[in-house]
Amino acid sequence: MRTQISIDTVRGYFVRQIEETSGQDLLACNQCGKCSAGCPIVAEMDILPSQAVRMAQLGMEDVLESTTIWICASCLTCVARCPKGVDLPRLMEALRQVALRKGVAKLDLNDLPPELVKELPQLAIIGGFRKYMR
Ligand code: SF4
Ligand code: SF4
């Protein structure tokens, strides 16, 4: 899906949904890039954290298809670096929630090998369920 950017997308339902779910003001971000420069796992992402914010600002729902929103580890490094007070982990969580509500399935219990489930700490399993399942 490729979102056509217009005044309707910038002021549209998707932007309001993300702002309400995350409690963040998307337009506070001035695209300085400090979050992306400091993210410890940016090399694993398909778009930069600051690009995810930009896409959300513009109402580009394509951001829901990016791996970045699932890879973000909520480590808070970007929160400490952001000069505008944007809480990016909350924003990523909101994007994941919206993606999950749209039916994106990131984890199927049946795909987990039983021997792995036996070895994983329970907290890791529960954390994974909360992050990747609706
Ligand atoms: S550090 Fe903050 S203001 Fe700068 S690009 Fe990231 S979210 Fe936007
Ligand atoms: S919270 Fe997410 S986006 Fe921010 S620095 Fe950590 S992994 Fe990167």
- The predicted pLDDT at position 40 comes to 98
CA–centroid distance, residue 114 to ligand 2 (Å):
30
Number of structural domains the chain divides into: 2
Written as six digits, the tokens of 122 are: 């329970």
Within a domain: residue 128? yes
Residue ranges around ligand 1 (CB below 6 Å): 29-35, 50, 53, 81-82, 84, 86, 88
The reply to whether 127 and 99 lie within a common domain is no
Domain that holds residue 115: 106-134
Q: Whose alpha carbon is nearest atom 8 of ligand 1?
A: 29
- The predicted pLDDT at position 112 comes to 83
Closest CA to 11 of 58, 50, 49, 51: 58
The reply to whether 67 and 114 lie within a common domain is no
What CA–CA distance (Å, rounded) separates 121 from 126? 9
Q: What is the pLDDT along the chain (134 residues), one digit of tens a residue?
A: 677 888 888 889 999 999 999 999 999 999 999 999 999 999 999 999 999 999 999 999 999 999 999 999 999 999 999 999 999 999 999 999 999 998 876 777 788 888 988 898 888 888 888 888 77
Substitution site in 22, 24, 35, 46 for ligand 2 pocket (most atoms within 8 Å of beta carbon):
35
- The predicted pLDDT at position 1 comes to 65
Written as six digits, the tokens of 19 are: 């702002």
